[in-house]
Amino acid sequence: MKTVYNHHHGEHAATKEFFRGRLVEAFEVPARADYIHAAIVEARLGELLAPVDHGLAPLQRVHSGAYLRFIEGAHAEWLALGGEGEAFPAVWPVRSLRSDVEPQSFAARMGLYSMDSGTPLTAGSWSAAYWGAQASLTALDLVLAGERAAYCLTRPPGHHAGADFFGGYCFINNAAVAAQAALDAGRERVAILDVDYHHGNGTQAIFYERADVFYASIHGDPQTEYPFFLGHADEHGAGAGLGFNANFPLPSGASNERWFEAFERALVQLNAHAPELLIVSLGVDTYGGDPISHFKLDEPEFRRIGQTLHGLQLPTLFLQEGGYATEAIGRNVLAVLQGFEELV
């Protein structure tokens, strides 16, 4: 399997993030992608390619122009105001406040365009996220040209980013950008399967009222797990999209048996939609040793995920999302990809 590697990922290098009201060492760090890169090279998974620049247009198909312009210039604005290091939002237009008028204040716009304070915005965030989307599009091109599968190795992740907000370490929703690009290239039915520990609220929201993209996610129950405010089992889609969204929340600490039970149920629904393309939001923070998540998967389970996905017989695009047990992340991702390729 070929990998498209976002060689700009290291430009997004936060040192700190907010956690329980305190600044702590960042979890979403460049070493994550470096470990995956090393594992892929060592295992000779396949060729590594650089992203081809597809420009802003495919990002604008998913994200608002105002949001993209803000993110691109935000860190420079922060510096011009005398800010140092990472910028964080601290005020949000929640219920009863207006989000239809864009204030002039930088602090206000940080809140308008975000969902949490846990996502440090750094000098290189835009570049890393932009090239991550380009890497996703380049990997999609491989699959559209006939490759059975491709892997996009990128960070920061994407699935929490909405049409006009960042959050959950995410700025550009790579899965949504790729799905929309596949539709724009003539595919009619795309499925996104999100196996990250966290619900992909951004991806769900972007396609919630649409019948051309089916979204299914297996994740920690939002009653106790981030992103808390979306990802419940009763969210089935709306309007034309009714029946095109399927959530499988599991309690924190759920056994592997329960995880695979939910996975199989998600695949039954996915197959029923007869997608022409499968996009996998591949988070491996479901690993038992993950520092911020609470499932128990390990290498054999990751290999089984890959094998099972291979059995769907669909052109498949793997996009990297979460996974914060840095030293184990390469091994875990490789297990999925090798399981898919049945190099076992």
List, by residue number, the catalytic residues: 160
159 binds Zn ion (CB under 5 A): no
Number of residues located near Zn ion, criterion CB under 5 A: 6
194 binds Zn ion (CB under 5 A): no
141/290 with CB nearer ligand OKP: 290
3-state secondary structure 101-121: CCCCCHHHHHHHCECCCCCCE
Is residue 257 within 8 A of residue 304, CB to CB? The reply is: no
Instruction: For the segment 266-305, give every residue that binds Zn ion (CB under 5 A).
Output: 283, 285
Question: Nearest distance from residue 160's CB to ligand OKP, in Å?
Answer: 6
If you write DSSP's letter for every residue of 216-260 in order, what string do you get?
Answer: EEEEE-TTTSTT-SS--TT----GGGTTSEEEEEE-TT--HHHHH
Question: Nearest distance from residue 151's CB to ligand OKP, in Å?
Answer: 17
Residue 251 and residue 107: Cα distance in Å, rounded? Answer: 36
Residue 277 and residue 187: Cα distance in Å, rounded? Answer: 8
Largest separation between any pair of C-alpha atoms in the chain: 56
Question: Nearest distance from residue 40's CB to ligand OKP, in Å?
Answer: 20
Which of 126, 197, 263, 318 touches Zn ion by CB under 5 A?
197
Cis ω for the linkage preceding 120 (within 30 of 0):
no
Question: Nearest distance from residue 282's CB to ligand OKP, in Å?
Answer: 10
Site for ligand OKP, rule CB under 6 A: 19, 27, 118, 157, 160, 168-169, 196, 198, 226, 283, 285, 292, 321-322
2/32 with CB nearer ligand OKP: 32
214/226 with CB nearer Zn ion: 226
Is residue 21 within 8 A of residue 64, CB to CB? The reply is: no
Positions touching Zn ion (CB under 5 A) are: 196-198, 283, 285, 322
